[in-house]
Amino acid sequence: MTLAARLAPRLPPRMVTAAAAVLYPRFEPELRRLADFCPPGGTAVDVGGWYGPWSRRLARRADQVVTLEPVPHLARLLASTAPANVRVVQAAAADHAGVARLWLPPGGRGDRGLASLVRREVHGGAIEVRCQPLDDLDLSDVTLIKIDVDGSELAVLRGAEWTLRRDRPALFVELEVRIQPFGAVLSQLARLGYRGWVLPERDWVPLASFDLAAHQRRTGHVADHGLLRRALTPPRRSVRYVNSVLFLPQGNHPGSAD
């Protein structure tokens, strides 16, 4: 367990929320580049809100942010601390409505960001949570959907297909080969007319010319360092671990957002 994961349950929740907002962009620089792919106005969707670093940044740019967070205490925290234009839905995004098991690390409450509807070796116990397809949320003018769900990406996309076809939003999806192969997700998005981009350094690179799986195998040890260590590592010594892909409708490219 990382230092941040050990400390988070012992600190005031609002302090953890503030720290996440400050530290998260240090190792996920795409969050500082929202203008490259998220046009102003409209509705942004944050699937897997955690402590809300994406929700808070998106609230500065979108007219409305809809955040889905299935872990009960995190959803309550977000609802009480998020900006006024953020609506929190306590549910897991999926391809069907109902109830499902949300798997958590042993002894954890979801603070580590590893909760998932797909059980892995890192999980111990589970809690029951509500499932909600994005297509059932009555969203309009969706400009961006960020997805961080540790293995259930395909179900989220299937539950949002009508919205994707109607609004053609940008998608920012966390994909990690150590969790599962991401070929099915790539095939689904290619079928829907989306093209992937990654940000390994300063410039966006087409996913088709970047071997994401090989990169993650080389740099996967960085992900085990945790949020605090990664954020505080001096830039000259840091190693970039790319674990998210920006998907845009075919013909668009990063930097074309208004």
pLDDT tens digits in sequence order for the chain, 258 residues long: 443 455 455 656 666 666 666 666 677 889 999 999 999 999 999 999 998 999 999 999 999 999 999 999 999 999 999 999 999 999 999 999 999 999 888 876 666 677 888 888 887 888 999 999 999 999 999 999 999 999 999 999 999 999 999 999 999 999 999 899 999 999 999 999 999 999 999 999 999 999 999 999 999 887 766 665 555 555 555 678 899 999 999 999 999 765
- Which of 137, 138, 155 is CA-nearest to residue 147? 155
Tokens of residue 248, six digits: 């845009």
The residue ranges of every structural domain in the chain are 3-249
CA–CA gap between residue 133 and residue 33 (Å, rounded): 28
Write the burial class of residue 185 (CB in 10 Å: 0-12 exposed, 13-18 middle, 19+ buried). buried
Q: What is the largest CA-CA distance in the chain?
A: 48
Cα-flanking dihedrals φ and ψ of residue 130, to 5°?
A: -80, 140
Identify the bridge partners of residue 142 per DSSP, sorted by sequence position: 43
CA atoms of 130 and 239, how far apart (whole Å):
38
226 dihedral zone (left: phi>0; alpha: psi -120 to 50; beta): left
The encoded tokens of residue 107 equal 């002894």
- Dig out the tokens for 129 from the structure: 């949570």
Q: How crowded is residue 4: how many other Cβ atoms within 10 Å of its Cβ?
A: 22
- In this structure, the strands spanning 64-68 and 43-47 are parallel
Assign domain 3-249 to its CATH architecture: 3-Layer(aba) Sandwich (3.40)
Query: Which strand ranges, in their side-by-side order, compose the sheet holding 64-68?
Result: 86-89, 64-68, 43-47, 142-147, 170-174, 244-249, 194-198, 205-206
- The predicted pLDDT at position 20 comes to 67
Tokens 């999980």 belong to 123
* CA–CA dist 132, 20 (Å, integer): 26
